[in-house]
Structure 1
Amino acid sequence: MYRALESVLVTGGCGFVGYNIVAKILEIESTCQISVLDRPSSLPQFPTVQYFDVDVSSKEDVMAAVRKIRPRVVFHAACTYSLSLPPETHFRINTQGTVNVLKAVQTLGITKAFIYHSSSSVIEDGVSSFVNASEDFPVLLPPEQKFPYPHSKAIAENYVLSSNRKHGILTMSIRPTGAFGEADTEMTQRLLAVARSGRANVQMGDGKNLYDFLYIGNLVHAQLLAADALLGSQALTGGDSESEEKVDGEAFQITNDETWLFWDFTRAVAKESGYPVKRNEIKVIPMWVGMLLAFFAEWAVWILSFGRRESNLTRHGVRYSSLTRTFNINKAKKRLGYRPLFSMHEGLQRTVKWFVENEQKTK
């Protein structure tokens, strides 16, 4: 299905996206030499994978590791996205970390493909809804962009795409929408905790807002299609930079191609985990009340944790849960041949099963 990768570097391979990329490569290409550049996490490490305990924001450490790894393909998934972190942390890891990794592989003369794990949020302002958004939508920068995470990702994406065809490397950016799945310690784990606490019946707003989600198995499929397209692309010199078939130097939005109501998704997670919510049990909370509750929750957690933790209920999260966010992925379908391998229901089943099995292992 995919071309042989041979030698791969996965940055952020101890995190949600990177971990799943590594797992899939091991499944489809057992002889591939896989190296991970990341700080260790609670996720298990694969015995045949070489791990480098490196902070991507350290230029020297990244360079030393890359010289040992000498990868043919790079999946750059290392990033941080917690809203509780200061802006400088986002730019140190998401932006400077990307620059460090790309500059390091540029010095080798070996790497052929660099796939950047971006975010659909680079075209969002965090407060406005949009329908059927395509890659033609402008990438937002301040003052339109008020949040450090998408700002840091947007700058990094621009650097990656503007580096295309330099030093013999083809680059691409994959922009996933809200991803869920195995090893997701953010959205999925939080929704499971909400279901188990009996609060999955709570809904903020009228619940009519549509949303595009993405199962991790389909995101990994898109990443591998990206590598396949770059490795099989036209010669590095020449070619029509405006071609409708062009893949290198391009950004691609990826969804499950299956739009859901946002709150139907949260209740689907609860149902799959054994805590179904009946329609007559749904408690609708007006948005202004939700924002007020989130305000007090944020401050309470901040004070009690001395600023070290983020509240599960945030004003940004409440606001986001009321927005309509749908994307047009025709570009990925046409140029990458992307089609989801798993439906939303299949993804939810696989996700909850993974969490249940892993929780049993730790007991």
Structure 2
Amino acid sequence: MASAHPNDIEFRSVTKAYGAVTAVRNINLAVPKGSFLALLGPSGCGKTTCLRMIGGFEQPSEGSVLIDGREMNGVPAYRRPVNMVFQHYALFPHFNVEQNVAYGLKQMRPRIDAREIDRRVQEALSMVRLDGFGKRRTHEMSGGQQQRVALARAIVNRPSVLLLDEPLAALDKKLRSAMQIELQTLQRELGITFVLVTHDQEEALSMADQVCVMSAGRIRQLGSPQEVYDRPADLFVADFVGKINRLNGRLEPGGQMLRLADGTALATSGEHSLPAGPVIAALRPEAIRLSRQETGPNGLRGTVTHRIFLGSGVEYAVTVAGLGDFLVTADRGQGSEADLAAPGDAVTLSFDPAAVHLFSPSEAA
């Protein structure tokens, strides 16, 4: 009978310390059933420690970890309804694909009938699009196929939660993109909770329905990919998730005008709670419009110093006197080749007031 508990995973005031080093600090987190959560952050932020506490490979120093409403403190990994896919897959090289996938089922007690094991192995291989590969040795398979074997081995036990520890890190860019789609499809088909650990912002934003950005053992923001990218909670999130241009300035009384270091006045949306005084403005490269023409409000004149061809887009480095360098990303579909600016061209950078995110200078630490 399915549990009525709404969350598959909960952290209640969880802290994890290794001697004098605190890896995770007082984390509270709820992961609803059937969701795809990405734990995102730089190395040493605590994301892998959180994953290992869910899996039972580490125990919290303080607080409680719950799975399906049941406290897991002290419960060993093999007694939790959780499976993990490791970064390097950890496949048995002396087993073929079927033997690798069946291994966990054969360890279960009471024992499962051999015909049932074979049925579930074939079902798992079909889910990851590896029908007909059961007799292959893993060393005869590509990196993407090996990753699918690891996934089949993880889902064959029908866990409540699947943990993914940077599973795409060893793949090339094209295969990684394909496997992102495969994982999303698999998660929807299985309907179980996925928790992904990654330091790759693009990977987290493209795959997960909830992104948890971490830094120094704390959660900085938890929200949908769109919320985290478009409405960052603080300067760290804005800077880590995607790219930004930073501008130092002063917010004038009333909060509707930002005065930059060179004296330029820029309009703001006014949708902030900051008092008048020093602020840091963050502006996404794709929110800036680049033109050779003089434009109206919120326009900065500069000179193109570099142009980088990216295939579907173009990235410009533009120097604005008194303010420094700006990164601008332009979609090639918006104009012809003749419209592209070249190094040395004088251009105007303009943007909507709503695209400017304002933060307190204290958040820059």
- TM-score between both structures, scaled by the size of structure 1: 0.28
Higher relative contact order (Cα pairs below 8 Å, separated by 6+ residues): 1
Structure that is richer in strand per residue: 2
If you compute each CA radius of gyration, which structure gives the higher value, 1 or 2? 2
Structure that is richer in helix per residue: 1
